[in-house]
Each structure stands twice: as C-alpha cells, then as structure tokens.
Amino acid sequence: MPGQRPGGHPAARLPEQQARGEHTHSEPPAPGAPTSGAGVPAPAPGAPAPGAAAGPLVQRHSVRGQILDALRTALVSGELAPGEVYSAPALGARFGVSATPVREAMQQLALEGAVEVVPNRGFRVTRRTPRELAELAEVRALIEVPVMLRLARTIPADRWTELRPLAEATAAAAARGDIAHYAESDRAFHRAVLSLAGNAQLVDIADDLHRRAQWPLTDQPRARRADLVADAAEHSALLEALIAQDLSVVQSLVREHFTSAK
C-alpha cells in the first residue's frame, strides 16, 4: 500500500552525507518523529531542528534497537513508502543520531526483505506484490495450522484463557485505527499461542514470516479501521474455538486469518 508521506520537513543535509556519497536532495522526507510506542522519544517542544548540533534523542545504550523498532513502525504504517530510497544520514538526522545505527538497523531490515541496498544512495523500500503476500500466507498456514490443531487437543482451557488480554490488546489497537500497534499486538498474540508448543525455533521462524507479511504492498490502500476491527475479532473467536477444542473451527479461522491479514 502506498505510504502516506510524513508531514515533517526533510532533514537538513549534513557534511557527513556528502562525505559518504549518500545523496538526499531528491529523496522523500524522513518519517515523522516516532511516538513512545515506537521506542524512540519525540523531541520536546522547542528542541533543536533535526540535524542541529544537539544531544541525541535516543539512549545510546540501545540506540540501534530503538532505531530498528522505529523504522519497522514506519514501514508498517507506510511512512517509508515502497519503492522510495532513504539515506542513513537523513534518517539519522531526523532521529538525532549518527548514520551508523541507522545503517545497522537498515542492514537488519535488508535481511528481513523489507529494504534493499542502493550503493552510494541508501536503502530502497521493497516493492511487494499480492503474489508474495499470498505465498507468505500459504507458508504460515502450513506451519501454524497443524501446530494449533495439535495444541487444541492438548492444552487445557485455562491456559487459553490467559491469552485473552493479548487478544483484547489487538482489539484496542484496531479500534483506534493504530496500524503499527495492531501489528505488534497481532504478532504478540500469535507468538504466545505458538509458544505453548514448547519449540523456540518454531516461534522464531513463524514470527519472521509474520513480520514479513506485515510490510505494506505497493499501491495498496491504507488499512481501514473496520478491517482491523474485523481482523482483531478473529483472535477472540480463535481463543473460544481453542477452549472448546473445536478443531474444524480452529482450522477455518486460522486459514482465514492468514488470508485476510494485512
């Protein structure tokens, strides 16, 4: 889906950008300052403009992780638009950090298939296709459906009941139309369900596939709140089916959830 361009001004060009050969004169504005949910504090009122000689906006000890979280949020929400190229210095200036942690975070995103390296320019957000999304949904179903059916036969009802707060969190994010937080809570719910299988490798692989399925498609409209609400409702319905050990409903809901996931 085409990302909405952020309302902030493009970050100022820095000498470092020219020295590293990363040009920003034609690139779109960097994503807006992330909220507390993205893990990076927004600048306080009256704070220096991006690129100014001010202290970093992010804690140094966890800067890479916070930048990675912020960039993932920008990808899911569409602030980083498919097909556009973003330079590490410009994004670093926007977040008030050097280009180095941004490059490190972008390298991780490249491994996840969210961006690709453009030599001497920066990173291009990958253009996704409906076929790729369908393939991811198929692989997720092949992995998760058999596991959930097995868990439905063996996990007692009270364990499933403990997961209701996670389902409620997805519903709350959907009601607000908060795509980024919905994506986080959606993955948290699925991780919690699969963790009951006691296989950490399974959880990691399924979570990686899930994250890849959340990157926006090219030319896809922004998800509507009603769609998020309907998607979130499937979590509660799935829990009820798992509690009741209704295997046919579990299988149907999981497959439908993967097919309709954005």
Same domain, 134 and 255: yes
Asked if 56 and 97 count as a contact pair (C-beta separation under 8 A), the reply is yes
Residues constituting the chain: 262
Identify whether the C-beta of residue 221 lies closer than 8 Å to the C-beta of residue 83. no
Q: Provide the pLDDT for residue 37.
A: 41
Cβ-contact 138, 202 below 8 angstroms = no
Q: Point out the domain boundary residue: 125, 146, 178.
A: 125
Residue 20 confidence (pLDDT)? 43
CATH for 76: 1.10.10.10
For the ranges 32-46, 120-134, 163-177, the maximum mean pLDDT occurs at 163-177
Range of 245's domain? 130-260
List the structure tokens of 138: 């198929």
| Helix, strand, coil fractions of the chain, as percent rounded to 5 | 60, 5, 35
Q: Are residues 93 and 135 in the same domain?
A: no
Look up the CATH number of the domain holding residue 204.
Answer: 1.20.120.530
* CA distance to 49, 72, 205, per residue, from 112 (Å): 32, 11, 12
Q: For residues 174 and 70, what is the distance between their CA atoms, to the nearest angstrom? A: 20
Do residues 145 and 253 share a domain? Answer: yes
Domain shared by 136 and 255, yes or no? yes
Q: What is the mean pLDDT of residues 123-146?
A: 89
With bands split at pLDDT 50, 70 and 90, how would you rate the model's confidence at 251?
Answer: confident
Tens digits of residue pLDDT in 155-200? 999 999 999 999 999 999 999 988 889 999 999 999 999 999 999 9
CA distance 128 to 208: 16
Phi, psi of 122 (to 5 degrees): 145, -130
Let me know whether 120 and 136 are in one domain.
no
Say if pTM beats, i.e. exceeds, 0.75: no
Output the average pLDDT for the chain: 78
